[in-house]
Amino acid sequence: VDSVRGEIALITGGAQGIGLGIARALAGAGASVVLVDIDGEALRAAEAELSAVTTVATAVLDVRDRLEWLTVVEGVETTLGPIGVLCNNAGVAGRAPVAQMSYEMWDWVLGINLGGVVNGIQTVVPRMVGRGRGHVVNTASGAGLGIPGPGGGAGFLYHSSKYAVVGMSESLRSELAPIGIGVSVLCPGPVATNIQDTSPRTRPGGAPAPSAAFVAARKQLLAAGASPDAVGEMVLRAIVHDELYIHTDRIMEPFVRARSEEILAAMPPA
């Protein structure tokens, strides 16, 4: 889409953090916004704020719930009109050392970070294809592009979920481009959100929690990161200019470079 004015944009995890930043940018540029989130209270606050700017609809939705996805999307398209922009943004930060990893942890993080994106695409993209227009933004992470530093960066569970979203977005983009539908993948570095507080709300019972020192260090890192509103403006630009990768900083540069060189160096001689 060349402009978001008059478009209907559905944003998952839109009640706060990066999702709310995206919603603010799109609303400011004239889109109607549909905020879906698992957190009803945060949704109400976001709706109160944004309804001063544009048409806003909200729905409490766990992005893992495929049936509820259908109900929400059918409701939106019946009452507001066709969804032109889909932002699959809801996600959680979760990690555990390999020896303490459990299937419950895998199901939690992959279920939301990857499964939630799959469900959004399954529900909305065929409708866009039928109309021959639209734009999809999937929120991955810099953690979907490389492994920073020693110790596995964000942990092998989170990296797995975000690499998958990057790969899915790259492939979907090449498949949808001929149909006139754009795809972008948001790969943020640190962004000042409360993800360290929101994620534990859905963490499976009995799962090992990261140490207080680790959480405090993470919070400090994120607090010094980009503002969600600035990230929202970057997403708006990428939609309008149909750009694939959205980076919020250059932090991953050496790791992406090292990874690419290692892959190339491992290929047999020509």
Ligand X SMILES: NC(=O)c1ccc[n+]([C@@H]2O[C@H](COP(=O)([O-])OP(=O)(O)OC[C@H]3O[C@@H](n4cnc5c(N)ncnc54)[C@H](O)[C@@H]3O)[C@@H](O)[C@H]2O)c1
* Residues near ligand X (CB under 6 A): 12-13, 15-19, 37-39, 42, 61-64, 89-92, 112-113, 116, 139, 141, 188, 190-191, 193-195, 198, 202, 222, 225
162 vs 142: CA distance, rounded Å: 8
Q: CB 63: neighbour CB atoms within 10 A?
A: 25
Q: Environment class of residue 84 by beta-carbon count within 10 Å: exposed (0-12), middle (13-18) or buried (19+)?
A: buried
Catalytic residue, candidates 103, 158, 163, 245: 158
Least Cβ distance, residue 25 to ligand X (angstroms):
14
Is the CB of residue 79 less than 8 Å from the CB of residue 188? no
105 vs 121: CA distance, rounded Å: 23
Distances (CA, A) of 95 to 37, 111, 222: 22, 14, 16
Least Cβ distance, residue 157 to ligand X (angstroms):
12
Strand blocks (E) in the chain: 8-12, 32-37, 56-60, 85-88, 134-139, 181-187, 245-247
Sign of CA dihedral 259, 232, 113, 154: positive
Q: Which is nearer to ligand X, 1 or 63 (CB)?
A: 63
Non-local (6+) Cβ contacts of 171 within 8 A are none
Least Cβ distance, residue 190 to ligand X (angstroms):
5
Q: Which is nearer to ligand X, 13 or 84 (CB)?
A: 13
Q: Which is nearer to ligand X, 18 or 267 (CB)?
A: 18
Is the CB of residue 1 less than 8 Å from the CB of residue 134? yes
Least Cβ distance, residue 174 to ligand X (angstroms):
23
Q: Which is nearer to ligand X, 133 or 218 (CB)?
A: 218
Pairing of strands 85-88, 181-187: unpaired
Q: Is 245 an active-site residue? A: no
Least Cβ distance, residue 56 to ligand X (angstroms):
15
Q: Which is nearer to ligand X, 175 or 197 (CB)?
A: 197
Q: CB 67: neighbour CB atoms within 10 A?
A: 8
Residues classed as catalytic:
158
